[in-house]
Structure 1
Amino acid sequence: MEQGVQGSAATWEGTRVPARQRPTDTGFPAQQRSTDTDLPAQQRPADTGLPARERDAAVPGAARGEHTHGERPIPAPRPAVQRTSVRGQILDALRTALVAGELKPGEVYSAPVLGERFGVSATPVREAMQQLSLEGAVEVVPNRGFRVVERGARELAELAEVRGLIEVPVMLRLARTVPAERWAGLRPLAEDTVRAAASGCAATYAESDRAFHRAMLSLSGNEQLVRIAEDLHRRSQWPLVGGPVRHGRADLVADASEHTALLDALIARDLDVVRELVGEHFTGAG
């Protein structure tokens, strides 16, 4: 349940005291202390006919230009942060469901139904689905929901080709310039992909696979390259029409083994093997 955050300001208590008689130890420079008489006429509290004590009790301290005793600015409201967090979690969950084949190509899903599944309102689901629409994973169906895009082998091959055009030259350049110890530092990520592949879970492997490729490309220092390559990589992991044909355990294990072999060649700076493995890896859209 989202809850708002409210702030309050400390104000002077009791009968109003002329400015010259108020304590000066307020934490504010003199030019920042103000009274009602310092305000333009149109900003002064209206004369309600009440005695000063009763009038001041009826008018909020901020409206009377009273001191705040150096209190810090009120933080941003919590609901906005929580909505962003929920939306991000739902987006991750939907991406996982796509890779795992739980959201079927060609099927239409409504935000309210998916919201019930995840135990949230329809709003964060709808926002997450809009993001997936921008990424090309789903398309909006007016008054119904979102249809999972049907993709064929040709689109997968096109994505692999584009990824190869972008990543292969970068990897070959990095193979010549990055020290062996930097490549060795990626060994845990390569081993993660092997364990994920052995589990047979396509969604778990997809995440570890992207992490490994992202870490390798990050050595280029080109953040735009990393972001674009990861977007293409994510798209290549979505299921094809008819089910996740290439996401069997054997396929995942074979793909992960290429990671470790490539890393070994990079550490040894064997450029011929690196060129061969990189080409094979992208031919298989790994």
Structure 2
Amino acid sequence: MMRDMAQDRQGAEPPVLPRLGGRRSSFRERVADALRAALIAGELRPGEVYSAPSLATRFGVSATPVREAMLDLAKEGLVDTVPNKGFRVTAVSDRQLDEYTHIRSLVEIPTVVELARTADRVSLEALRPAAREIVTAAAAGDLIGYVEADDTRFHLGLLALAGNAHLVEVVADLRKRSRLYGLTALVEAGRLLASAEEHLELLDALSQRDEKAVHAIMSRHLGHVRSLWASPD
């Protein structure tokens, strides 16, 4: 849905947002999803102000669903409203990243380790296509595809197997707030693929009921938020 970037815009700078596609019923939902992915992939830069009309032009839709979607993102703390100008992408401080990562570690690691005991193999294997898609996207440098598969389809899908919808909602919010701006640098440095392959490694450990391995993989994977991903240089 969010991977087809507009290629030719004579006399204009390259678009920062992908054009919309797919079958989502609401423009507002589709725009919000695309904006979140663009934020995580670094297509929208922290500190910069974007107007709803300019983003709407890039989407090929009217300004109304874009403005509504940006207001939704403002409620999530991803952007701030700038009167008479538009929306400014908020920056994530080192302290905030530390706090978000700490909370995610407290929630996600024990939850996923428990899945090594409780999740059935059929449900785990159902996540393997998403894990493979993450690896494929990383190898191709497809950041939007990476974010799509990594976020909702794999990590939140995995946590959903614990049967706690509120937990999934909390982690989803933390993942949005700890969005990563260093994905492009990781691709250029050739380090994104290694992180992507950990998803398959994690599924193998879960299927083998290897709790120690699951704990180690999850700890390493979440550590990328503060080490590799947040500080790619």
The verdict on a shared fold, with TM-score over 0.5 as the criterion, is yes
Counterpart for residue 141 of structure 2: 200
- 1:79 match: none
Q: Which structure has more RCO (C-alpha within 8 Å, separation ≥ 6)?
A: 2
- The one-letter amino acid paired with 1:239 is Y
The answer to whether residue 200 in structure 2 is matched with residue 260 in structure 1 is: yes
SS at match of 1:212: helix
SS in 2 for 1:258: helix
Measure, in 2, the Cα distance between the counterparts of 1:86 and 1:122: 11
Q: Which amino acid aligns with 2:192?
A: L
Quote how far apart the aligned CAs of 1:161 are: 1.5
Q: Any stretches of 5+ residues in structure 1 without a counterpart?
A: 1-83
Please say if residues 41 and 147 of structure 2, whose CA atoms lie closer than 8 Å, have aligned partners that are also in contact.
no
Could you tell me how far 1:213 is from its partner in structure 2? Answer: 0.8
Is the deviation greater in 222-231 or in 247-256? 247-256
1:275 aligns with 2:196: no
User: 5 Å matches for 1:89-104?
Assistant: 89-104=30-45
Counterpart amino acid of 2:194?
A
The correspondence of residues 89-238 of structure 1 with structure 2, limited to 5 A, is 89-210=30-151, 211-238=153-180
In 2, Cα distance between the equivalents of 1:261 and 1:122?
A: 43
C-alpha distance after superposition, 1:197-217 (max 9, x if no partner): 111122211111111111211
- 138-147 or 245-254: which moved more? 245-254
The secondary structure found in structure 1 opposite 2:81 is strand
DSSP 3-state at the match of 2:26:
helix
CA contact (8 A) 1:90 1:125 kept: yes
Alpha carbons 2:78, 2:90 under 8 Å: kept: yes
Question: Structure 1 residues 246 and 228, CA, compared in 2 at 3 Å: closer, same or farther?
Answer: farther
| Structure 2 CA distance for partners of 1:249 and 1:224, relative to 1, 3 Å | farther
* TM-fit CA distance, 1:246: 4.4
Cα drift, residue 219 of structure 1: 0.8
Assess if the C-alpha contact under 8 Å between 1:160 and 1:282 holds in 2. Answer: yes
Taking the aligned partners of 2:51 and 2:132, their CA distance within structure 1 comes to: 38
| Deviation string, structure 1 residues 140-165 (Cα, Å, up to 9, x no partner) | 11121111112234333322221111
What is the SS of the residue equivalent to 1:139?
strand
Q: TM-score, normalised by structure 2?
A: 0.78
CA distance in 2, matches of 1:203, 1:196: 8
Cα pair 1:139 1:149 within 8 Å, conserved? yes
Tell me the distance in 2 between the aligned counterparts of 1:131 and 1:150: 17
**How far did 1:244 drift?**
5.0
Cα 1:247/1:227, change in 2 over 3 Å = farther
Aligned equivalents of 2:189 and 2:28: distance in 1? 31
- In 2, Cα distance between equivalents of 1:203 and 1:116: 19
**Distance apart, 1:187 and its partner CA:** 1.8
Alignment partners' CA distance in 1, 2:224 and 2:203: 17
Q: Secondary structure at the match of 2:191?
A: helix
- Cα RMSD (Å) of the superposition? 2.1
| Contact 1:110–1:146, Cα closer than 8 Å, also in 2 | yes
The Cα of 1:267 is off from its aligned counterpart by 0.9
Aligned equivalents of 1:118 and 1:190: distance in 2?
28
**Equivalent residues in 2 for 1:57-76 (5 A)?**
none
Give the unaligned 5+ runs of structure 2: 1-24
Kindly, what percent of the aligned residue pairs are identical?
47
Cα deviation per residue 1:207-256 (whole Å; 9 max; x = unaligned)?
A: 1111111121111111111122122123323426xx85446463321111
Query: Partners of 1:262 and 1:121 in 2: how far apart?
Result: 42
Q: Name the residue aligned to 1:251.
A: 191
Tell whether the 8 Å contact from 2:92 to 2:178 is kept in structure 1 after alignment. no
1:165 aligned partner, one-letter code: L
